[in-house]
């Protein structure tokens, strides 16, 4: 039985009725409050053919076609009352009858609004369709991939094939992502998709054919060797894999300055996001991580590429763009089989420092130096902070912070201030989490740690099953070397007012010599201090870190970084085989057995 689709969205005043009749697609909007009789009459009128200028030999057929166009609506064998409002009359599973023809009514069925394939497809790199769905979810859709089998050298062009040019298709895949092999080079790809949701899959399908043939990939990529260490996901919930990666935002790689001054050694096509996103997708998915923290994640890349792909792989995806109109920021992804989101506490640092009492001491010192305060306020840095619950382990949580600090080398004092704001914010969030969740006030992490170290859960509080554990994980591009004041602050817990980074800036009006900073986290660099995490033509050094809480976490393994010999084959980063000027940090962390 053919279908009549009714679209009825709660926040909209109209419904849309769509069906195919007489070889033509019919679509009409009607008010939800309108009575059914008027909607059915409108359907009847829309189907009546114009009799003007009809030839004599067609008049009999025309008259027969128009004899019975009476429209009625039925539900469970009974005719729906014509005076009922549209909003209540059109039900899923009802039947629309037009003369002798019947249509099964589906209200808000899973639908595909648009379906496209990328315009750059390479062998050994996953191809991800762009799907715009309504009342559907990508994980419930049904996908069928095909490749053309009658390809030729003449066909291997950027002109999309027509039905006459490609007659034969071979099924090659049934997942959301398809990774072409070397034997697919020169072939067009076709994807057929049926939209689905938790309750049903649509009987209708949409298909799209690639506008280009599969091209050969760039060959060996340094992350291929790293993937040898991450072939298997982490075994259980006591271990989790973390990735921290500045992926180079499109907004900073596509302009003339980037191509001619920053990365002149990288071919322009390899700087284009349509090329880089394929490398990024393959690299990131290949780490099989449980927590992924990305910096410089463009909002479009997140929305149209990373989130759709990672959601189908079982991740929850969060993005926080920088302050102002900047279309990039920090993105955190976590595997839902390992963690569940409890709460989010993202902040823009220059706003939080002015209004949050947690930063009162810092603000008092900075306010006394107007130029320093002004410089701090110009920075749109954010921290993305999420509290995650460890699945199947009672009262165990992970506080994940993801940030990208101010980049100018001559401003280490600003990074010190930004780091302190993040630490204060994390301390406050964790303390409030304890207080809000368990009705008890805990002033500092030191109190929590000491309580766990010295007494049993039962002794701490007979009314609690167990004292909750919250481990702090701080990831990001800190734009700070291992010998910087910021790294010293993070790893030692203290930085003196006499530290050289307070007076490194040339502007003496920004020299802050009255402020010492401290915190009570116990952090260590989980990936150690490699020789470089940023490798460009103008700079090679370590700027990126994964700081883990040594009270609760220990390192199980660190995935080795590419060697300088590998990176220098293409002069520097980014390149045709690595998509960013930074390298991804990857490590496996384990919860300590005795907490």
The first and second tokens of residue 309, run together, are 């792909």
347-348 and 382-390 as β-strands: parallel, antiparallel, unpaired?
A: antiparallel
71-75 and 78-79 as β-strands: parallel, antiparallel, unpaired?
A: antiparallel
Q: Are 472 and 498 in contact, with CB atoms under 8 Å apart?
A: no
Q: Choose among 187, 46, 196: nearest CA to 122.
A: 187
Strand order in the sheet with 189-194: 169-173, 142-148, 189-194, 206-209
291-298 and 239-246 as β-strands: parallel, antiparallel, unpaired?
A: parallel
Whole-angstrom Cα distance, residue 544 to residue 297? 15
Which segments of 66-200 does DSSP mark as H helices, in order?
86-89
Known catalytic membership, residue 477: yes
> What are the DSSP calls for 328-395, one per residue?
EEEEEEEETTTEEEEEE--EEHHHHHHH-GGGHHHHHHHHTSHHHHHHHHH---EEEEEEEEETTSTT
**Which of 250, 346, 477, 544 is labelled catalytic?**
477
Report cis status (omega within 30 of 0) of the bond before 518.
no
> What are the DSSP calls for 232-286, one per residue?
S--SSTTEEEEEEEE---HHHHSSHHIIIII-TTS-HHHHSHHHHHHHHHHHHHH
Q: What does the CA dihedral 537, 540, 546, 548 come to, rounded to 10 degrees?
A: -170
Q: How does DSSP classify residue 70?
A: -
Q: What's the CA angle centered on 547, arms 377 and 537, to 5 degrees? A: 70
Q: Are 295 and 252 in contact, with CB atoms under 8 Å apart?
A: no
Q: Which residues are catalytic?
A: 477
């Amino acid at each position: 039985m053919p279908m009549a689709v009714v679209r009825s969205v709660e926040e909209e005043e109209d419904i849309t009725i769509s069906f195919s009749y007489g070889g033509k697609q019919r679509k009409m909007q009607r008010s939800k409050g309108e009575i059914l009789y008027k909607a059915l009459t409108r359907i009847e009128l829309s189907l009546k053919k114009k009799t003007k200028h009809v030839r004599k030999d067609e008049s009999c057929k025309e008259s027969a076609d128009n004899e019975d166009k009476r429209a009625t609506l039925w539900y469970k064998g009974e005719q729906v009352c014509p005076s009922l409002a549209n909003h209540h009359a059109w039900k899923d599973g009802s039947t629309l009858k037009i003369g002798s023809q019947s249509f099964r009514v589906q209200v808000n069925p899973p639908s595909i609004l648009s379906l496209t394939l990328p315009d750059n497809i390479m062998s050994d790199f996953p191809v991800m369709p762009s799907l715009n769905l309504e009342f559907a979810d990508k994980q419930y859709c049904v996908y069928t991939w095909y490749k053309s089998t009658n390809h030729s050298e003449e066909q291997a062009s950027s002109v999309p094939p027509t039905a006459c040019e490609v007659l034969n298709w071979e099924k090659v895949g049934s997942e959301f992502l398809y990774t072409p092999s070397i034997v697919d080079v020169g072939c067009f790809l076709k994807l057929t998709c049926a939209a689905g949701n938790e309750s049903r899959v649509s009987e209708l399908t949409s298909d799209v054919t690639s506008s280009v043939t599969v091209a050969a990939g760039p060959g060996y990529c340094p992350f291929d060797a790293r993937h040898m260490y991450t072939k298997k996901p982490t075994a259980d919930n006591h271990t989790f894999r973390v990735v921290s990666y500045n992926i180079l935002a499109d907004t900073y790689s596509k302009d003339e300055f980037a191509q001619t001054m920053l990365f002149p050694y990288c071919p322009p096509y390899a700087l284009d996001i349509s090329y880089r996103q394929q490398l990024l997708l393959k690299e990131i998915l290949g780490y099989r991580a449980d927590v992924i923290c990305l910096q410089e994640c463009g909002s479009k890349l997140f929305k149209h590429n990373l989130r759709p792909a990672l959601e189908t792989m079982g991740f929850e995806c969060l993005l926080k763009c920088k302050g102002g109109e900047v279309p990039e920021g920090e993105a955190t992804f976590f595997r839902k089989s390992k963690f569940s989101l409890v709460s989010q506490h993202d902040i823009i640092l220059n706003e939080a420092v002015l209004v949050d009492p947690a930063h009162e001491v810092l603000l008092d010192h900075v306010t006394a130096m107007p130029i320093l305060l002004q410089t701090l306020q110009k920075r749109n840095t954010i921290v993305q902070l999420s509290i995650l619950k460890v699945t199947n382990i009672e009262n165990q949580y992970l506080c994940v912070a993801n940030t990208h600090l101010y980049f100018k080398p001559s401003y280490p004092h600003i990074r010190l201030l930004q780091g302190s704001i993040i630490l204060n914010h994390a301390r406050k969030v964790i303390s409030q989490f304890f207080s809000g969740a368990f009705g008890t006030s805990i002033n500092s992490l030191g109190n929590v740690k000491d309580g766990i170290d010295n007494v049993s859960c039962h002794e701490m509080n007979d009314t609690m099953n167990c004292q909750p554990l919250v481990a702090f994980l701080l990831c990001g591009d800190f734009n700070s070397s291992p010998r910087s004041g910021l790294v010293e602050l993070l790893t030692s817990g203290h930085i003196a007012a006499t530290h050289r980074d307070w007076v490194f800036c040339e502007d003496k009006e920004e020299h802050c010599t009255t402020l010492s900073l401290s915190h009570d986290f116990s952090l260590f660099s989980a990936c150690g201090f490699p020789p470089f995490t940023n490798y460009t033509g103008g700079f090679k050094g370590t700027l990126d870190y994964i700081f883990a809480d040594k009270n609760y976490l220990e390192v199980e393994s660190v995935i080795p970084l590419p060697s300088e010999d590998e990176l220098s084959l293409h002069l520097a980063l980014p390149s045709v085989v690595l998509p960013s000027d930074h390298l991804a940090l990857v490590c496996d962390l384990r919860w300590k057995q005795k907490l």
